[in-house]
Amino acid sequence: MIAFVFPGQGSQYVGMGKSLYEVSKDLFNEAREILGFDLAKLCFEGPESELNKTENTQPAILTVSYALLREVQKMGLITNYVAGHSLGEYTACLAAEVFSFKDALKIVRKRGELMQSAQPEGRGSMFAILGLDEETLKQICDSIGNFYVDLANLNCPGQIVISGEKEGVLKAGELAKERGAKKVVPLSVSIPSHCKLMKEASDKFAEYLKDFAFNNAKIPIVSNIDASERFEASQILEALIKQLYSPVKWQDCVRYMISRGVRIFIEIGPGKVLSGLIRRIDGSVKVLNVDKLEDVEKIKEEIK
């Protein structure tokens, strides 16, 4: 069995999608019309500072990932499951035909704007903690009395991201080192995603989504919030709203798909972040990556 998985924010880089331009002009042109700026130019040439702005990053990664997905689909490759890491769940929804590309662009652009404006600049922070288990890290977060901090991304064994108020995250990082963390890495983000500081943004997002039609999924989507399969439009909508302030349970998503018989994971989108995480979750499964147009041909050979 095969699963397609899609990366989220943090996987972007200047030059992504350039190899796809000739076969994906329609998508980049549609993105320019909807967003009001030249997304192709931003993806291919930067500047990096503009590409890294949340409201730009999200439609950029979605467009490049979807362009790559279309090329993979042209091979006639069938996937049994789809899943995405945070933002990547929207490309998973496109793969499952939950909504149109046009609507997906509008939705993730708004999502990025709401996330960016949810907290004053510099109030929130996120750290990746390497080498501590979930229970220990949760105890540390709960012990920070004066400032809010919580688990945000449970990525793979030994890699958990914490999110919250900057002072709380800093303190939790110090305590994590004292408790034996191998590494504490500040993430280059200005917003505290996947924690309750995003609840107000999530409420506004829910209102915005009322204007869009969601279809039932044609392929099971494994949801970030609880690693469960979702088919019905109402269930998918609920998960996307909750996702903003809930931890991303990526490790559980991957383990669930493996438990259902998935033996090949194909990461479709910029970078190779998810490929690395999946290998650390279970080294016995096959992991392939489609980051550029030429990778599609390599996948053909690997799947034979």
pLDDT tens digits, 120-134: 777 899 999 999 999
For residue 139, give the amino acid letter.
Q
In the chain, where does the domain assigned CATH 3.30.70.250 lie?
Answer: 124-186
> What rounded mean pLDDT belongs to the chain?
95
The answer to whether 85 is a known catalytic residue is: no
For residue 231, give the 3-state DSSP assignment: coil
- Percent of the chain residues past pLDDT 90, beyond the cut: 88
As a whole number, mean pLDDT of residues 204-229 equals 97
Rounded Cα gap, residues 273 and 110, in angstroms: 25
The answer to whether 194 is a known catalytic residue is: yes
pLDDT 10s digits, 243-285 = 999 999 999 999 999 999 999 999 999 999 999 999 999 999 9
Nearest CA-CA partner of 151 in 45, 225, 74, 261 = 225
Based on the number of CB atoms within 10 Å of its own CB, is 39 exposed (0-12), middle (13-18) or buried (19 or more)?
buried
Task: Check 86, 125, 190, 202 and give the catalytic one.
Answer: 86
What strand order describes the sheet that includes 81-84?
Answer: 229-230, 221-222, 81-84, 2-6, 264-268, 286-290
In the chain, where does the domain assigned CATH 3.40.366.10 lie?
Answer: 2-118+196-303
Q: Which fold has domain 124-186?
A: Alpha-Beta Plaits (3.30.70)
Rounded Cα gap, residues 272 and 275, in angstroms: 5
Cβ–Cβ under 8 Å, residues 271 and 7: yes
Give the pTM. 0.95
Superfamily for the 2-118+196-303 domain: Malonyl-Coenzyme A Acyl Carrier Protein, domain 2 (3.40.366.10)
- Percent of the chain residues past pLDDT 70, beyond the cut: 99
Task: Check 11, 19, 85, 194 and give the catalytic one.
Answer: 194
Rounded Cα gap, residues 165 and 147, in angstroms: 6
Tell me the two tokens of residue 172: 């939790």
